[in-house]
Amino acid sequence: MTRFLLTHLCVFLMIPASCSESDTKSIDTFAANGEVSEVASDDDLMFMSPVWSPGGSRIAFTSGQYRGIWIVNPDGSDLRQITGAESAGYQFQWAPDDKTITARIAHFDGPERYFAIVAYDIETGNKTYLMDFSKEPVDPPAKPAALPRDFGDRIALNATYSPDSTKIAFQLMGEGVFVMMADQQGSSPGEHQHPGPGEHRKTPYDDVLPEQEYRHLGPGEQPVWTPDSNHLIVSVSSDDGHYITASDLYTIRVKDGERTLLTGHTDLIALHPTVSPDGRRIAFSDDKSGSICVMSISRP
């Protein structure tokens, strides 16, 4: 099975909270033939867009057209549907304690579409309306990073802050993946702390990524950061103009652009990567089978 290509053009991924330095400092080379495990599948559904919880205990994901949210343990156990609401799977957000998922859901009344914001308790199944249904435009909980420059007619998407808040990775449609320094005046979300006006946090990338400049890292889509903020994982896909026909996942070392092919030993159409909080595994969707898979990416 494959899905129509346009369903993948505007997927934004939320990045899990970073791990401590002791957890991530040894992850500098990556396994190119890690074991792949299928952790969620359904003969009648196409699962996609997994998001690893900040604590690493669960993976949440959605189905075609972002209908509903499911969760599963990384070993494939305890697969459960949290909601079947329309649009709930688009840019939903985990709570830091892994106990709640906040989502923007949709309701249609004839041609009119209404949005609400709902928090789902994944243990009890209870839901709390944080904002009732409204016809007014409502941002989803997991908004993309705010790019500190304008790209004119070029379409920038999938922008995401590095866990250390110093960089932004993003995609320019049809051009590939780019990285730039984050706005030192604090355009990042509230949980990311930036230096005050006139101050600067020295990083290893200052010489190659001057503030407000950006650098091309080659082909790729849907960039996500590893917890050490030194690497990206991207998908590189091909299509026939209508359907995605092939896709592999790569790591990119941001400092020099060095790549490692992760899924070349499989025949999967690997999309929508998300990284475990310890940086040693990824989850992704297989567009061929409609399943969610987990793969080890760290070398011993």
Give me the DSSP letters along 45-71: --EEEEEE-TTSS-EEEEEGGG--EEE
CA angle 215, 217, 223 (to 5 degrees): 110
Confidence tier at 21 by pLDDT (50, 70, 90): very low
3-state secondary structure of 23: helix
- What's residue 52's pLDDT? 98
- What's residue 22's pLDDT? 36
Q: Is the pLDDT of residue 113 over 70?
A: yes
- What's residue 183's pLDDT? 64
Contact between 80 and 39 under an 8 Å Cβ cutoff? The reply is no
Question: Average of pLDDT values for 236-251?
Answer: 96
Q: How far apart are the first and last CA of the chain?
A: 35
Question: Which segment of 97-101, 191-195, 250-254 scores lowest on mean pLDDT?
Answer: 191-195
Q: What is the pLDDT of residues 116-129, one digit of tens each?
A: 999 999 999 899 99
Which domains, ranges and CATH numbers included, belong to the chain? 5-58+143-296 (2.120.10)
Q: What is the pLDDT of residues 184-214, one digit of tens each?
A: 444 444 444 433 333 434 444 444 455 458 9
Strand partners, 181: 167
CA angle 273, 279, 284 (to 5 degrees): 20
Q: Is the pLDDT of residue 27 over 70?
A: no
Q: What gap in Å lies between CA 34 and CA 276, rounded to an integer?
A: 15
Who's near 157: CB < 8 A, 6+ residues apart?
Answer: 9, 10, 12, 144, 170, 171, 173
Question: Average of pLDDT values for 247-275?
Answer: 96
Contact between 43 and 55 under an 8 Å Cβ cutoff? The reply is no
Percentage, residues of the chain above pLDDT 70: 80
Question: Average of pLDDT values for 135-141?
Answer: 93
Tokens representing 29 are 């080379």
Q: Is the pLDDT of residue 49 over 70?
A: yes
Contact between 220 and 272 under an 8 Å Cβ cutoff? The reply is no
Higher pLDDT, 33 or 247: 247
- What's residue 30's pLDDT? 82
Confidence tier at 90 by pLDDT (50, 70, 90): very high
Whole-number mean pLDDT of the chain? Answer: 84
How would you classify residue 160: left for phi > 0, otherwise alpha for psi between -120 and 50, otherwise beta? beta
Q: What is the pLDDT of residues 57-81, one digit of tens each?
A: 999 999 999 999 999 999 999 999 9
